[in-house]
Amino acid sequence: MTAPETIALTRPASGGKAVIICDHATNFIPDRYADLGLDAARLSEHIAWDPGAIEVAERMSERLDAPVAAAGLSRLVIDMNRPEGAAGSIVSVSDGVVVPGNQQLSDRDRRQRFEDHHIPYHQGIGDLLDRRAALTTAVIALHSYTPVHSGKTRPWDIGILHNGDTALAGPLLDALSAMPGLVVGENEPYSPADDVYYTLQRHAVSRGLAHVMIEIRNDRIATPQGQQDWGNRLADIISRVL
Q: How confident is the model at residue 151 (pLDDT cuts 50, 70, 90)?
A: confident
Instruction: Calculate mean pLDDT across residues 184-210.
Output: 98
Do 155 and 184 form a contact (C-beta atoms < 8 A)?
no
Instruction: Calculate mean pLDDT across residues 201-227.
Output: 99
Q: How confident is the model at residue 1 (pLDDT cuts 50, 70, 90)?
A: very low
Instruction: Calculate mean pLDDT across residues 105-128.
Output: 97
pLDDT (0 to 100) of residue 5: 73
Instruction: Calculate mean pLDDT across residues 225-232.
Output: 99
Residue-range domain boundaries for the chain: 7-241
Do 8 and 72 form a contact (C-beta atoms < 8 A)?
yes
Q: Look at residues 107, 121, 91 and name the one whose alpha carbon lies nearest to residue 202.
A: 121
One CATH from 3.30.390.50, 3.40.630.40, 3.90.1150.10, 3.30.70.270 for 7-241: 3.40.630.40
Q: Look at residues 164, 162, 157, 152 and name the one whose alpha carbon lies nearest to residue 191.
A: 162
pLDDT digits (tens, 9 = 90+) for 34-59: 999 999 999 999 999 999 999 999 99
